[in-house]
Structure 1
Amino acid sequence: MSGTEQSLSSSVSLAAHPDIAELGYEQARDELTSIVAKLEGGQAPLEESMKLWERGEALAQHCQAWLDNAEQRLTAQEDSAPEE
C-alpha cells in the first residue's frame, strides 16, 4: 500500500458509519462486495463514488476486526487446550 493509500485508508473512520458496527461479518462482507462491484462499474458520479469508497473502507476495517478477533479466539483456544 502506498503512503497516499495508507493515509486515505486511515482517515476513514467507523465513527462516520455507526450502522456498520451493528453488522455481522457476512453482512459487512456482502455489502463491501456490492460496493466494489458498483465502483468497478464506473457508472457512479464522482461524489457518490467517494461516498461508496469511504463506506467500503469502513466495511473493510469492520471485516478485518472480525477476522482479527476470530484469530485471537482460536489462538487462545489452542493455547488453553491440554497437550496430549
Structure 2
Amino acid sequence: MAETPTTPEIPYEQARDELISVVQKLEVGGTSLDESIALWERGEVLAGICQQWLDGARTRLAAAAGLDAEDATDD
C-alpha cells in the first residue's frame, strides 16, 4: 500500500507569503551572519512546504484527468 503524503502544517499561501518575506529580507541585507543563516534555513523549509502543496495539487489534477502521477510530472 502506498504511503499517504502528509499535509504540510501551514497553508500554501501562508508559506509562499512568508517565503517572499524571507527572500526580501535576505536581498536587502543588513542582518548578521547568524540571522542570515536562520533566514536561509527558514526559506528552505518554506520552499519545501510550497513544493509539497504543489506536488499534491499536481497529483490530484492528474488523478482527475485519469493520468498516472508520473505522467503529470513530465515536463
Taking structure 2 as the reference length, what is the TM-score of the superposition? Answer: 0.77
Say whether residues 1:77 and 2:67 are aligned partners: no
Alpha-carbon RMSD: 1.1
Partner of 1:40 in structure 2?
A: 27
Partner of 2:45 in structure 1?
A: 58
How much does 1:22 deviate? 2.1
The residue type equivalent to 1:48 in the other structure is E
* SS of aligned partner of 2:30: coil
Separation (CA, whole Å) in 1 of partners of 2:31 and 2:11: 27
Separation (CA, whole Å) in 1 of partners of 2:56 and 2:30: 36
Separation (CA, whole Å) in 1 of partners of 2:29 and 2:13: 25
The residue type equivalent to 1:46 in the other structure is L
Taking structure 1 as the reference length, what is the TM-score of the superposition? Answer: 0.69
How much does 1:31 deviate? 0.2
Separation (CA, whole Å) in 1 of partners of 2:22 and 2:38: 10
Gaps of 5+ in 1: 1-20
Q: How many residues align?
A: 60
Task: State, as a whole percentage, how many aligned pairs show the same letter.
Answer: 58
